[in-house]
């Protein structure tokens, strides 16, 4: 028998499937600009090459800095604060 793969998306690709949203990636989502201090949600879309880890899917955080075309998002999980570098196409702005 062969050994089962233990890669990043092993057994999780069915959670990332977008059967109900056929083409949500457009030029607008790839080129959107956000400001430091805005509240955002992490929503992995499209390209599997640069998505954040699936455990951060749906988490809400605040943008702390800009790094090239990506943003550093500060997320609080229980008592821990984590900084995650996320490309702009995987971030959605939250209106409060």
Q: How far apart are CA 54 and CA 33, in angstroms?
A: 23
Other Cβ atoms less than 10 A from the Cβ of 83: the count is 11
User: Domains of the chain: which residue ranges?
Assistant: 13-93
61-86 tens-digit pLDDT:
999 999 998 999 999 999 999 999 99
User: pLDDT: is 26 or 32 the higher one?
Assistant: 32
| Cβ 41 vs Cβ 60: under 8 Å | yes
- For the entire predicted model, the pTM comes to 0.75
Mean pLDDT score, 35-43: 94
Q: How far apart are CA 89 and CA 70, in angstroms?
A: 9
Which pLDDT band holds residue 17 (cuts at 50, 70, 90)?
low
CATH number of 13-93: 2.30.30.70
Separation in Å, CA 70 to CA 5, 17, 62, 79: 29, 23, 13, 25
């Amino acid at each position: 028998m062969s050994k089962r793969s233990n890669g990043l998306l092993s057994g999780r690709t069915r959670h990332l499937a977008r059967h109900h949203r056929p083409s949500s990636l457009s030029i607008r989502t790839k080129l959107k600009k956000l400001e430091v201090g805005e509240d955002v949600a992490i929503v992995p879309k499209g390209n599997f090459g640069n998505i954040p880890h699936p455990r951060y899917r749906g988490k809400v955080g605040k943008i702390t800095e800009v790094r090239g075309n990506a943003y550093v998002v500060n997320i609080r999980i229980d008592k821990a604060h984590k900084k995650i570098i996320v490309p702009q196409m995987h971030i959605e702005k939250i209106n409060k």
